[in-house]
Amino acid sequence: MPVKYSARPPRLQRIFEELAPPIYFVTFCTDYRKPILANYHVFCRFVRFAEVAACQHAVSVGVFVIMPDHIHLFVQGFQQQTLGMWIGTLKRILSGALVARGVAQPHWQPNGFFDHVLRSTESYNDKCHYVRQNPARKGLVQQADDWPFQGEIRRLTVG
Report how far apart, in Å, the C-alpha atoms of 81 and of each of 71, 73, 87, 88 are: 21, 18, 10, 11
What average pLDDT does the segment 12-16 reach? 46
Angle between helical axes of 83-100 and 40-57 (0-180°, round to 10):
150
Over residues 48-57, the mean pLDDT reads 93
Domains of the chain listed by start with CATH number:
20-152 (3.30.70.1290)
Q: How confident is the model at residue 121 (pLDDT cuts 50, 70, 90)?
A: confident
Enclosing H/E stretch for 80: none
pLDDT of residue 2: 52
Report the predicted TM-score, pTM, of the whole model to 2 decimal places.
Answer: 0.85
